[in-house]
A and B are shown apart, each in its own frame.
Chain A
Amino acid sequence: MSLFRIALAGEGGQGVQSIAEILAEAAYNENKQAIYIPNFGLEQRGGVSIAFLQFSERRIGAPKFQKADIVIALSSRAVERTLTYSGEETLYVYDSSFKLGPEELPEQAKQIIDLPAIETANNKLHPRVFNIIIMGAVIGLSNVVSFEAAKEALEHKLAYKFEKDPKLRELNYKALEIGKEMGEKALKEGVV
């Protein structure tokens, strides 16, 4: 795997940083090189939360980047904030719960994909696993980590919650699975 760059952006509380951390940890556990850096500081208070992730087989250089291989934007403000990271080779993904006009979408992208993650979480699973669907979608779209490694890292991160309520484990794994399929399907269909 050559260098792969992902920008995940959402509103505070959508869990963007949590899944970025889990993905980075999963890659690290698979002996890949990984760097994860959040945007932090004042902007995050009431602003858009962005996670910058990079994966590679060899040492990774600068911690931030200009263009991502995948951008995922989970709110309309997050779309606005991440247009700059979309280039000619970028898969640009946003949630289909908010409607965007063509002028609001990035000018440059290899493919623009809308995913019904919020809707699926609310109607089929539980609103709290929305971010795990997104995490699954990242895997479906990119294969940066294996599904098994993602599950293990998820288990590691949420073990204390799973212990209290074992049903949560099932719910999270299901969300991960659904997200992965959603990502794979979108890639195949090539929706623009």
Chain B
Amino acid sequence: MQRVIGESKRSFVTGNEAAAWACMAAGADIMFGYPITPQNEIMHYWTRIAPQFEREFLQTEDELSAGFTVCGAVQSGKKAFTATAGPGNVLMQEPFGMAEAMRLPIVGIIQQRGGPSSGTVIYSQQEVTLTTFGGNGEGHRIVYSTATHQEIYDYIVKGFNVAWKHRFPVFILGDGYQAKMREPLEMYDPQDKGIEMVEPYPLLGLGGKIGTDREPSHLCNIYSLEEELYEVVLKFAAEYEALAPQIIEYEERECDQSDIIILAHGVVSRAADDAVKALRAQGIKAGYFRPITLRPFPQQQLRDAIARSGAKKMLIAESAYGQFDRLVKQEIYGETISIENLFMPGVGIIENDIINKVKSIL
């Protein structure tokens, strides 16, 4: 592995810069992209540093094309990625769906902005439904929702490995705040942390005779028989479900013996964490649960936390009008805990918003 960072170093940079460096350190060969705020600087930084490390970049004519070129590059054995947001994420759902169908190890970084349509260029958590289940498929993809620059870096490094090891598309779900703010993080070369990067390999044009030397490499996104598609989707579903326990990640704090569990993901979880600390200090028994993987979802872990807590209420806080809420509800179907929500679509949530809401419902 080519060293990019050298001795691991603390940096004070934007989330977009952290993302570009993480892709570089993870050994990405090429980025395909089309400009859109608030992810533009991922492209800017990548194009600035790529030539120093003999990596490549192609700006395509639109997001559809950027998504499909990533799909093409990984088939030729290149570690490839893209980054987008908002309406760009909408356009990319077609290639992302193809990546699901063909089990392509693509990596996409999504910096959510406000919607619908062009909306704002600033911030939201309104791309949860799109990023988890946006394609015309079954959502067989892995989605990490990050909360800090360190996580953007760590989960991009991990994301490339997960994609190339298990052959499911991987998405890093950030947002405009994380993209644009500056905060400290540690950048490192993966090998210095004992992380072995999975080498990319071609999926097509392989040597040997099919049938005698190797199995056919059957990458298909179109079927003439319904039954054929049916079998493939069932196979992928079984593989995805079997893999899920290895992939699922979450954070849980203070849920045992709590009166209320606060659920948040991404950058909002920072406020939720602070809110729980403040509420506990005031004698209010609040717990904190945060899925890091939105797909696959830590549903058993959340069910266990609810059972252990004895809480009667759960508060779901998000910068969208119920996208995360719907995801949680479908995952924990059958639980009888009452669910309240704090929906603030397109704007930030701070700890006081959560504290006030908790006090109003307890």
Contact between B184 and A61, CB atoms less than 8 A apart:
no
Are A37 and B181 in contact, CB atoms less than 8 angstroms apart? Answer: yes
A188 to B34, alpha carbons, bound, how many Å? 53
Cβ of B38 within 8 Å of any chain A Cβ, yes or no, is: yes
> Is there contact, CB below 8 Å, between B12 and A25?
yes
On whether A62 and B271 interact (CB within 8 A), knowing A40-B121, A41-B37, the answer reads yes
Which of A21, A41, A42, A61 meets B182, CB within 8 Å?
A21
Chain B residues with CB under 8 Å of A92's CB are none
Contact of B348 among A40, A60, A63 (CB under 8 A): A63
Q: How far is it, in angstroms, between the C-alpha of A34 and the C-alpha of B149 when the chains are bound?
A: 12
Evaluate contact between A34 and B183: CB separation under 8 angstroms.
yes
Report if A38 contacts B (CB, 8 A). yes
Known: A40-B176, A61-B270, A61-B273. 19 other contacts (CB 8 A): A21-B182, A24-B12, A28-B184, A33-B184, A34-B182, A36-B182, A39-B122, A40-B180, A41-B38, A41-B120, A41-B122, A62-B268, A62-B270, A62-B271, A63-B178, A63-B181, A63-B270, A64-B177, A64-B350
18 cross-chain CB contacts under 8 A: A21-B182, A24-B182, A34-B12, A34-B183, A36-B182, A37-B182, A40-B37, A40-B176, A40-B180, A60-B183, A61-B270, A62-B267, A62-B348, A62-B349, A63-B178, A64-B348, A66-B350, A66-B352
A41 vs B180: C-alpha distance when bound (angstroms): 11
Complex interface: chain B residues within 8 A of A25 (CB): 12, 182
Q: Could you say which residues of chain A place their CB within 8 Å of the CB of B267? A: 62-63
Q: How far is the CB of A80 from chain B (nearest CB, A)?
A: 20
Cross-chain contact B177 with A40 (CB below 8 angstroms) = no
A35 and B182 form a contact (CB under 8 A): yes
CB-CB under 8 A for A61 and B121, given A37-B177, A37-B180, A41-B37: no
> A63 CA to B15 CA in the complex, in Å?
12
Chain A residues 75-96 with CB under 8 Å of chain B are none
Interface size range of chain B in the complex: 20 to 34
A40 touches B12 (CB 8 A): no
Shortest C-beta distance, B286 to chain A (Å), equals 15
Complex Cα spacing A59 to B222, Å: 49
Interchain CB contact under 8 A, B180 and A34: no
Q: Point out the residues of chain A lying under 8 angstroms from B182, CB to CB.
A: 21, 24-25, 34-37
Residue of A whose beta carbon sits closest to that of B272: A61
| B residues less than 8 Å from A66 (CB atoms) | 350, 352
At the interface, yes or no: A98 with Cβ under 8 Å from chain B? Answer: no
> Is B63 part of the contact surface with A, judged by Cβ < 8 Å?
no
Whether B274 sits at the interface, judged by CB under 8 Å, is: yes
B351 at the binding interface (Cβ < 8 Å): yes
Give bound CA distance, A60 to B37, whole Å.
25
State the A residues within 8 Å of B (CB).
21, 24-25, 28, 33-42, 60-66
> Quick one: which of B336-357 are within 8 Å of A by CB?
348-352
B122 touches A40 (CB 8 A): yes
Q: How far is the CA of A124 from the CA of B107 in the complex (A)?
A: 55
CB A146 to nearest CB in B, in angstroms, measures 17
CA distance A25 to B13 in the complex (A): 9
Tell me, in angstroms, the Cα distance from A39 to B123 when the chains sit together: 10
Within 8 A of A (CB), among B169-197: 176-178, 180-184
Q: A40-B37, A40-B121, A41-B37 are in contact. Are A62 and B351 (CB under 8 A)?
A: yes
List, in ascending order, chain B residues with CB within 8 A of A39's CB: 122
Most buried by A among B37, B121, B181: B181
Given the contacts A61-B270, A61-B273, A62-B349, A28 and B180 also touching, CB distance less than 8 Å: no
Q: Which residues of A contact B38 (CB under 8 A)?
A: 40-41
Q: Across the interface, which residues of A come within 8 angstroms of B270, CB to CB?
A: 60-63
Least Cβ–Cβ distance between B149 and chain A, in angstroms = 10
Bound complex: CA A36 to CA B121 (Å): 18
Are A62 and B181 within 8 A (Cβ)? no
Nearest-CB residue, chain A, relative to B267:
A63
Tell me which residues across on chain B come within 8 A of A40, comparing CB atoms.
Answer: 37-38, 121-122, 176, 180
Bound-state Cα–Cα, A39 to B177, Å? 9
- A34–B185 Cα distance when bound, in Å, is 11
A19 vs B268: C-alpha distance when bound (angstroms) = 27
Query: Closest approach, in angstroms, between the C-beta of B186 and any C-beta of chain A?
Result: 13
In chain B, residues 150-183, which have Cβ atoms closer than 8 Å to a Cβ of chain A?
176-178, 180-183
**Are A41 and B12 CB-contacts (below 8 A) given A61-B273, A62-B351?**
no
Q: Determine if A35 and B121 form an interchain contact, defined as CB atoms under 8 angstroms apart.
A: no
Q: For the complex, what is the distance from the CA of A63 to the CA of B352, rounded to whole Å?
A: 13
Give Cα distance in the complex from A65 to B177, angstroms: 12
A58 to chain B, nearest CB (A): 10
Q: Do A61 and B183 touch across chains, with their CB atoms under 8 A apart?
A: no
Once the chains are docked, how many angstroms separate the CA of A39 from the CA of B347?
12
From A21, A35, A41, A42, contact of B183 by CB (8 A): A35
Known interface pairs A28-B184, A35-B181, A35-B183; A61-B271 also in contact (CB < 8 Å): yes
B152 CB to closest chain A CB (Å) equals: 13
Q: Nearest Cβ distance between residue A3 and chain B, in whole angstroms?
A: 9
